[in-house]
Amino acid sequence: MSQKDPLVVFTPSGRRGRFPVGTPVLQAARSLGVDIDSVCGGRGICGRCQVLVSEGEFPKHGLTSKLDHLTPFGKVEEDYCVTQPLVDGRRLSCSAQVLGDVVIDVPSSSQVHKQVVRKEAEAHDVELDPLIRLHYVEVQQPDMHDPSGDLRRLEDALEFEWRLTDLACDVIVLQQLQKALRAGHWKVTVAVHAGHQIVAVWPGFKEKVFGLAVDIGSTTIAAHLCDLASGEVVASAGLMNPQIRFGEDLMSRVSYVMMNPGGEKEMTTAVREALNTLAHEVAAQAGITPQDILEATFVGNPIMHHLLLGIDPTELGGAPFALATDRAITLWAVEIDFAIHRNARIYVLPCIAGHVGADTAGVLLAERPDLTDKMTLLVDVGTNAEIVLGNNQRLLACSSPTGPAFEGAQISCGQRAAPGAIERVRIDPTTLEPRFKVIGSDLWSDEPGFDAAVAGSGVTGVCGSGIIEALAEMYLAGIIRHDGTIDGALAARSPRIQEDGRTFSYELYKATEEARPLKIMQNDVRAIQLGKAALYAGVRLLMERLNITTVDRIRLAGAFGSHIDVKYAMVLGMIPDCKLSGVSSAGNAAGTGARIALLNQRSRKDIEALVRRVEKIETAVEPRFQEFFVEAMAIPHLTAPFDELRKEVTLPERTMSSTDAGQRGRRPSRRDPKPVQA
């Protein structure tokens, strides 16, 4: 290049260089290392390499950029526009050639490494860098004078056009290769996994392939279908985990396996069938076939993880809770009977410990507490709460047997979050009268039109977040004492407080002609107390190990964490005291982690390394856990002052019933494969 050659400046990278007249823009970009995508290798087919001319004077670059400093539309771009118009002045950079000084803008959609998982401000960015890449190539035809296999000539083309070397090839590709080459007139698109394995081949140009990120929960399985070229979620679906018929919670499923030889195979089959149903559903939503899904990632708790992989989970049902493996696993779809593309690769995130699963690895990957110096608490509440605490110095993890109370199970009026369920509760501390909202309506129960709004669903129960609010409001109104007992003395003040054998209950919703009354019983309070004490005790254990008394941030992951009002969770003492502004929902962080692992290959190495660094604490063998548990039975806590909370909420004076709360605490255990709070 000489000083007389046109100057080309790329934005936003700022890279610049002089190129002879007639240089294709894509070629100029590549020689400068500017990030522009391409699947077809500059043949004007894929449309991935679109750019824009920025017109005008650019004094800082010392040039004037004009539209006609690129060649006008040629045949290639015209042909391309027949199927998909180039909008807003976009050009195919592989076709447009440099005629004069020009500033070229590369929009984010044309970048290979675009940012795709960008969440709220405090979360980190994830750049698109999937393991599966499509490459369109023209392959030399066989020549009897220089015989060579079709695969070798395909590999030569991939090396020549895409600098891919040392490629391996799945045998199923070999079975399809010769027909694909001939059907595509020696032009094919191949999918290459991790830059070294040819996993699929199609005749001609194949525009898109997809990946699936799956979160296997004990209750629900959720899947997100992503376009591997854009990173976008193009379809989502969820369904109930069919293993529920073998047991509502994890431990009863393990118990089923222990009591029914071969039971693990039934459950493995059940979950795999559900996955195939899901894959079909998301594929149908997106208008593709499951064969277009070339990659899938999975998160799930250790028992779901083992059952997915066909590993008997019995060892996870009793001490010492040994995982079969705490490594990440890569395998073929066919190995787990997953009827997506026959050669699709499956990546299962690593489990961390016997009760801290690949779902927590997903949360870690989504949240990356190791990238900040803020002391961060991550909590994923389920039948077992999985807890991570730490920052860029250290990370600790444990799980705590919270039981199913937070999910509304074992609560007399509990139900799943569905229309008709009470989800918000307020109690007037003077009258002790409640008002509430139910799922399906935005109206409070004391607002006009409420009855009409809920006429369809009725008021049928209280969901997890409703229970938390009900109990917290009962505590704030003085109905529940510091030790968790419902104060029977208040029965004199309000008919809502009702004697119920030797204990008292609070009537949240009065019976109607159609519906039963909804009451908070003393046993309901106890179930929540047991769960929240276990959760708090697990957190305290980690805090003690780190020698800290406060945390900077609390992130609540999972469905439960998304719906509860964090203030009420803190009033009950589920989580330690913290500035309320530092407490937030992390949404379905485990699923987000699966999506990150799907879209960014480096993230897999990151999470594998991170998981190894995590210090695993088994609460079952920590003598202090029992002590912390007993103290945490009180509301919000026997001793912790909760000063930050008091800045926002006026807590009642501490009052105790005749029996100390601590004596009611029973150490929770996982040795018994049945739910501990039975």
Q: Which of 498, 499, 519 is nearest to 507 (CA)?
A: 519
Does position 671 interact with its own copies (CB under 8 A)? The reply is: no
- Least distance in angstroms from the C-beta of 525 to its own copies: 32
Range 154-183, binding its own copies (CB under 8 A): 169, 171, 174-175, 177-179
Number of residues this chain uses to bind its own copies (CB under 8 A): 45
Of 201 and 459, nearer to its own copies (C-beta) is 201
Cα separation of 106 and 112, whole Å?
11
Does position 276 interact with its own copies (CB under 8 A)? The reply is: no
CA distances from 191 to 39, 183, 206, 340 (A): 10, 17, 9, 15
Q: What is the helix, strand, coil percentage profile of the chain, to 5?
A: 35, 25, 45
Does position 618 interact with its own copies (CB under 8 A)? The reply is: yes
Helix (H, G, I), strand (E, B) or coil at 464: helix
Does position 354 interact with its own copies (CB under 8 A)? The reply is: yes
Q: At what angle do helices 358-367 and 601-613 cross, to 10 degrees?
A: 110
Chosen residue from 120, 146, 166, 373 binding its own copies by CB under 8 A: 146
- Least distance in angstroms from the C-beta of 632 to its own copies: 22
- Least distance in angstroms from the C-beta of 323 to its own copies: 4
- Least distance in angstroms from the C-beta of 192 to its own copies: 16
Cα separation of 676 and 668, whole Å?
6
Helix (H, G, I), strand (E, B) or coil at 586: strand
Does position 261 interact with its own copies (CB under 8 A)? The reply is: no
Candidates 44-52, 240-248, 276-284, 317-325; binding stretch for its own copies (CB under 8 A) = 317-325
Candidates 98-106, 203-211, 233-241, 326-334; binding stretch for its own copies (CB under 8 A) = 326-334
CB atoms within 10 A of CB 235: 19
Q: What is the DSSP string of 315-334?
A: GGGSTT---S--S-EEEEGG
CB 115, CB 125: distance < 8 Å: yes
Does position 121 interact with its own copies (CB under 8 A)? The reply is: no
Of 237 and 610, nearer to its own copies (C-beta) is 610
Cα separation of 263 and 266, whole Å?
5
Of 16 and 265, nearer to its own copies (C-beta) is 265
- Least distance in angstroms from the C-beta of 420 to its own copies: 42
CB 499, CB 460: distance < 8 Å: no
Cα separation of 171 and 397, whole Å?
42
Of 23 and 619, nearer to its own copies (C-beta) is 619
- Least distance in angstroms from the C-beta of 171 to its own copies: 5
Chosen residue from 4, 145, 163, 647 binding its own copies by CB under 8 A: 145
Does position 234 interact with its own copies (CB under 8 A)? The reply is: no
Chosen residue from 21, 67, 284, 319 binding its own copies by CB under 8 A: 319
Chosen residue from 120, 125, 143, 653 binding its own copies by CB under 8 A: 143
Candidates 183-191, 292-300, 463-471, 618-626; binding stretch for its own copies (CB under 8 A) = 618-626
Candidates 46-54, 143-151, 225-233, 528-536; binding stretch for its own copies (CB under 8 A) = 143-151
Please count the CA atoms within 13 angstroms of the CA of 155 that sit on its side-chain side: 17
Chosen residue from 311, 379, 521, 556 binding its own copies by CB under 8 A: 311
CB 536, CB 573: distance < 8 Å: yes
636 preceded by a cis bond (ω within 30 of 0): yes
Chosen residue from 620, 632, 638, 676 binding its own copies by CB under 8 A: 620
Chosen residue from 103, 309, 438, 542 binding its own copies by CB under 8 A: 309
Of 412 and 626, nearer to its own copies (C-beta) is 626
Position 629, amino acid: F
- Least distance in angstroms from the C-beta of 564 to its own copies: 29
Of 231 and 538, nearer to its own copies (C-beta) is 538
- The secondary structure element, H or E, covering residue 557 is strand 553-557
Of 87 and 621, nearer to its own copies (C-beta) is 621
Cα separation of 155 and 161, whole Å?
10
CB atoms within 10 A of CB 578: 20
261 preceded by a cis bond (ω within 30 of 0): no
Chosen residue from 67, 284, 331, 452 binding its own copies by CB under 8 A: 331
- Least distance in angstroms from the C-beta of 153 to its own copies: 9
Chosen residue from 77, 312, 423, 483 binding its own copies by CB under 8 A: 312
- Least distance in angstroms from the C-beta of 199 to its own copies: 14
Does position 324 interact with its own copies (CB under 8 A)? The reply is: yes
CB 421, CB 469: distance < 8 Å: no
Position 252, amino acid: S
Of 118 and 671, nearer to its own copies (C-beta) is 671
Of 325 and 372, nearer to its own copies (C-beta) is 325
Q: At what angle do helices 358-367 and 589-599 cross, to 10 degrees?
A: 80
Q: Which of 498, 307, 533, 247 is nearest to 402 (CA)?
A: 533
Of 179 and 654, nearer to its own copies (C-beta) is 179
Chosen residue from 188, 351, 388, 533 binding its own copies by CB under 8 A: 351
Chosen residue from 77, 101, 127, 150 binding its own copies by CB under 8 A: 150
The 3-state secondary structure of 234-253 reads EEEEEEECHHHHHCCCHHHH
Does position 621 interact with its own copies (CB under 8 A)? The reply is: yes
Classify burial at 517, counting beta carbons within 10 Å of its beta carbon; exposed 0-12, middle 13-18, buried 19 or more.
Answer: middle
**Assigned token pair, 119:** 């969440």
Cα separation of 100 and 18, whole Å?
10
- Least distance in angstroms from the C-beta of 424 to its own copies: 39
Q: What is the DSSP string of 465-481?
A: HHHHHHHHHHHHTTSB-
Please report, to the nearest 10 degrees, the dihedral formed by the alpha carbons of residues 174, 176, 178, 183 taken in order.
-160
Does position 198 interact with its own copies (CB under 8 A)? The reply is: no
Phi/psi at 203 (nearest 5 deg)?
A: -65, 140
- Least distance in angstroms from the C-beta of 669 to its own copies: 13
Chosen residue from 321, 450, 475, 506 binding its own copies by CB under 8 A: 321
Binding site for its own copies (CB under 8 A): 141-152, 169, 171, 174-175, 177-179, 309-312, 314-315, 319-327, 329, 331, 335-336, 351, 353-354, 616, 618, 620-621
